[in-house]
Amino acid sequence: MELKRVQGAIKADFDRVNALIQESLESEVELLNTINRYLLNLKGKQIRPLLCLIAAKACGEMTPVTISCAAVSEMIHTATLMHDDVADNSSVRRGSPTVQSAFSPAASVLTGDYWLAKALSLLVKENDPKVLGFFTRAVEELSEGELFQMQKASKLDTTEKDYLDIITRKTSSLFVAAVAAGAYSGGAGEKIIEDMSRYAYHLGIAFQIRDDIFDYMPDLNTGKNAGTDIREKKITLPLICALERAKSLERDEMLKLIKESLYDDDSLVKKTLDFVKRYDGISSAQNALSEHSKIAIDALKEIKESLYKNELADIALYVGTRLV
């Protein structure tokens, strides 16, 4: 299953979402419009708005509120990426120069602020505290997740529990907001919204684990440069699993190497990839990925049968597919 196929099935709705994003971002400042056009030409998977739209259809009928929530989920996500790129000094994303690289770090931060403000403005216009609450809570958690990851990176003491806390905040929070808002806008009651939120939580965890596995698989054509996380001293699940299996001395040596290395140290990337492979870190991470994918699918069991419920399950199955 490919996400593009699912998107194609609801193309008219997706077109409305992207049109709303473009319309919402229009400014009298030409530099801002230039940066916005640059970003809009570099669309990613857009999985969050996709989930929002399908969740609404799985729970009832899509409404104008659904379109707004789908747009907001993508705008918040894009805003956080612009901020992340400055924090991590990233020069490439999705195979193209980042805004901070193509324009400037200041432009990236300020454009991210603008996208975030415009997203929240869309929510305010809906005049629904519940919808607003879904997304403001996610923005809070996103910020906390990034800062907690920075805190752990400085100490190199990230445990598996810490890692799950980080990705719950950094990734799952916005998945939950998009899906819960979609379900709510489609007419779902509290119990169904809870079930859909549980689906989104575990899907978000699986999605992030999958992305983190890519960092240790240089042979895959994923658009992500292998070793990026370790260069930034971000300890993710494949390395955590390997560190847990290694002997104490080798574990300490690996952490010392990471701590003392410079960002452009290619030898660090090779040594870390070899270490993770030696201690089967990727396989262990993939087991966790598959488990969260299964739990996500199981969370849908009380949702009424429909094409759209099946699409949600297929997305979780796709995300949970083993990579090697």
Q: Which has more pLDDT, 114 or 217?
A: 114
Distance CA(266)–CA(53), nearest Å, equals: 42
pLDDT tens per residue, range 103-136: 999 999 999 999 999 999 999 999 999 999 999 9
Mean pLDDT of 5-17: 88
The pLDDT of residue 94 is 80
Once rounded to an integer, what is the mean pLDDT over residues 7-18?
90
Confidence of residue 324 (pLDDT cuts 50, 70, 90): low
For the cut 80, the answer to whether the pLDDT of residue 160 exceeds it is yes
* Domain 3-319 part of CATH 3.40.190.10: no
Summarize pLDDT for 288-297 with one digit per residue, the tens: 999 999 999 9
40-97 pLDDT, tens digit per residue, is 998 888 999 999 999 999 999 999 999 999 999 999 999 999 999 998 888 888 889 9
249 has pLDDT over 70 = yes
Q: For residues 192 and 198, what is the distance between their CA atoms, to the nearest angstrom?
A: 10
Instruction: State residue 227's pLDDT score.
Output: 86
How far is the C-alpha of 275 from the C-alpha of 242, rounded, in Å? 7
- Write down the pLDDT at residue 294: 97
Total-model pTM: 0.95
pLDDT of residue 323: 67
Q: Map out the domains of the chain as residue ranges.
A: 3-319
Over the stretch 161-204, which tens digit does the pLDDT of each residue have? 999 999 999 999 999 999 999 999 999 999 999 999 999 999 99
pLDDT at 95: 82
**Range of weakest confidence among 61-75, 190-204, 262-276, 299-313:** 262-276
pLDDT value of residue 2: 67
